[in-house]
Amino acid sequence: MKGELVWTTTGDRTRLNGFLVEAAAPKAIGIDAAVILHGLAGNFYSSSLLTFVARQLTTLGVNVVLANTRGHDFLNHSTQSGRSVLAGAAVENVDDCRFDVTGWVQFLAASGHQRVMLAGHSLGAIKSLYSQAHARHENVAGILGLSSTRLNYHQFATCSAREKFLSSFALAEEMIRANRSDELFRFEFPFPTWMGARSFVDKYGMENRFDWTNFIDMIPEPILLTFGQRELEEHPAFEGVEDIAAEIAERQPNVSMKKIVNADHFYVACFDQLWSDIELWLRHSFRV
């Protein structure tokens, strides 16, 4: 896929890199451009799922930026105010996504894109919803959220993987009390990785700051939430999510929900079915 390496600077002066792909066809929907956000420890170039979505959007006349957030990769060195800072999924504060998303939307708006869609996978979907709820940008016209995990302490503490979660949470709290809050530790749930104790408690704590079900009603723009059938049925982190998403879609006319048959968290071998539902939503919600 041909495109151009681009970058933007956020409101807190963090530099983020991305990849701009221009539309491959005349405009077919009422969206000028899209910002596509990676999931946990991802980046703008490594996801076959997001690359596929980007390519399909260009066939509808939409320009696309595959965008890094400061939480890209496991750890990275970002530039903030001209200085190198340690960042990445292991140490990020998800709340900072407000700066990242706004920076990318402003990048597109500055070049004449007035109606921008946010599209994210997993944590990227959560960041899309959270940023528009807490730092609404007037140029955002809609949100596509692919497999947005519900970051809810009670849900995780009562699901079938609760013992793994609770033991990891207790360890993170112990590390914070011992002034080891920035030290990384290994955990298995909700997804196996390493993370700093402070970041773990902030992301998965009892305050439920990043549980999208708590703030999705603050977003008036059209929203499509998609989930894979297999992740809903098999992954403990998604227990109960289907019923909650369906209830939200029932009471909020701007929210739609689709379950993709046989799909896992990454929609392996289900790209075409996923795109079929996305395109129907796009053509219905954003008529030219």
Continuous segment of H or E residues that includes residue 213: none
Residues 111 and 134: their CA atoms lie apart, in Å, by 24
Residues 94 and 70: their CA atoms lie apart, in Å, by 9
From the list 75, 90, 85, 139, the residue with the least C-alpha distance to 111 is 139
Residues 4 and 23: their CA atoms lie apart, in Å, by 13
Residues 259 and 29: their CA atoms lie apart, in Å, by 23
Q: Please give the pLDDT value at position 82.
A: 83
Q: Please give the pLDDT value at position 288.
A: 86
Residues 33 and 60: their CA atoms lie apart, in Å, by 10
DSSP string, 252-263: -TTEEEEEETT-
Residues 120 and 74: their CA atoms lie apart, in Å, by 18
Query: End-to-end CA distance of the chain, in Å?
Result: 26
Q: Please give the pLDDT value at position 81.
A: 85
Q: Please give the pLDDT value at position 106.
A: 98
Please answer whether residues 139 and 114 qualify as being in contact, where contact means their C-beta atoms are separated by less than 8 angstroms.
yes
Q: Please give the pLDDT value at position 41.
A: 96
Residues 176 and 185: their CA atoms lie apart, in Å, by 12
Radius of gyration of the chain (CA): 18
Residues 4 and 112: their CA atoms lie apart, in Å, by 17
Mean pLDDT of 246-251: 97
Q: What residue type is 2 in one-letter code?
A: K
pLDDT in tens, 73-128: 999 988 888 888 889 999 999 999 999 999 999 999 999 999 999 999 999 999 99
Our CA dihedral for 193, 195, 201, 204, rounded to 10 degrees, sits at -30
By DSSP bridging, strand 223-228 and strand 255-260 are parallel
* Ranges of H-type helices in 20-140: 48-58, 97-110, 123-134
Handedness of CA 126, 128, 129, 130 (dihedral sign): positive
User: Structure pTM?
Assistant: 0.97
Residues 287 and 71: their CA atoms lie apart, in Å, by 34
Residues 268 and 246: their CA atoms lie apart, in Å, by 23
What number of other Cβ atoms are within 10 A of residue 77's Cβ?
9
The mean pLDDT of the chain is: 97
Q: Please give the pLDDT value at position 85.
A: 87
Q: How confident is the model at residue 131 (pLDDT cuts 50, 70, 90)?
A: very high
Backbone angles phi, psi at 79, to 5 degrees: -105, 125
Residues 180 and 197: their CA atoms lie apart, in Å, by 7
**What one-character DSSP code corresponds to residue 203?**
H
pLDDT in tens, 132-152: 999 999 999 999 999 999 999
Q: Please give the pLDDT value at position 94.
A: 97
pLDDT in tens, 168-227: 999 999 999 999 999 999 999 999 999 999 999 999 999 999 999 999 999 999 999 999
